[in-house]
Structure 1
Amino acid sequence: MPRRRWLFAALALSLVLVTGCKDRGGQVEDAGQVARQAANRRLTGDWLLQSFQPSVALEPMLASLLQVQFGRMTVTFDGQWMHATGAGVDTTRRYQVMEADRDRLGIRTWDDTGVTYDAYGEFRGNELWFEGRTTPWQGRGVLLRVR
């Protein structure tokens, strides 16, 4: 009989220790996930395209369309969707913050056909300096926070 009580006490103690070691939500928070969520909150809002310098020359029509967007195109991030509106442009893309570290972040967007576009950026005051890594939007640019 005493052996049975000892076994029961050991089992009860084990359960207390195991359940007591979990955090409030039952899961240990991932530091990378916390950083990505913080970057996504910082990104949320309205931004104005200030500049973009493509790495490869764009075809003339596309280059002209890009040129008229500076200071006019508004890009809105809402946590899951990016909406860009400007002269002759109105598009919505799903996006996700893939990585984040302090003021830097990596973003992936998907077009309607599922093609992905990657960009990396750095928050600098009320600006987001970014670098597009996927053709035809390889290059560097700046977005200005307007809201």
Structure 2
Amino acid sequence: MRIGELADRVGVNTKTIRYYESIGLLPEPQRTGSGYRDYADDDEARLVFIKTAQHLGLSLDEIREVLRLREAGTAPCDHVRSVLREQVKEITKRIAALRRLRDELRQLDAVIDGLPEVEGGMCRIIDHVRATAEQVAADGELASTHRR
């Protein structure tokens, strides 16, 4: 099949397929007599695998490693499981950070109307956040000086 048909079947664009070839995720396809790329069903299956792995959060480098393990005759499932467990840890950290940010934004929203304009400032909201962060940093430095 030609590159356009493969792209349509898998739901990617042709540039993506060419890129995956250029970085070694997809092998160079056979060529027709007129020079067109000629993909096999194995290429389609590999491309579907790559897209599915990306959906699970694997990076292209991680996918490359999975493919390398498989091509070396090793079942890569233990490796994939390890990568997915790391993904869960990172997602958990990001969720916690997003919750903290959400709470901070809610607190900020509650005081916005009472914030004074700062002369020469761009936006009283951002100026308030900057000033608060500077005060917290200064308080932290002061507290660490007193502990010595």
TM over 0.5: no
TM-score (norm 2): 0.27
Higher strand share: 1
- Greater helix share, 1 or 2? 2
Query: TM-score with structure 1 length normalisation?
Result: 0.27
Structure showing greater radius of gyration is: 2
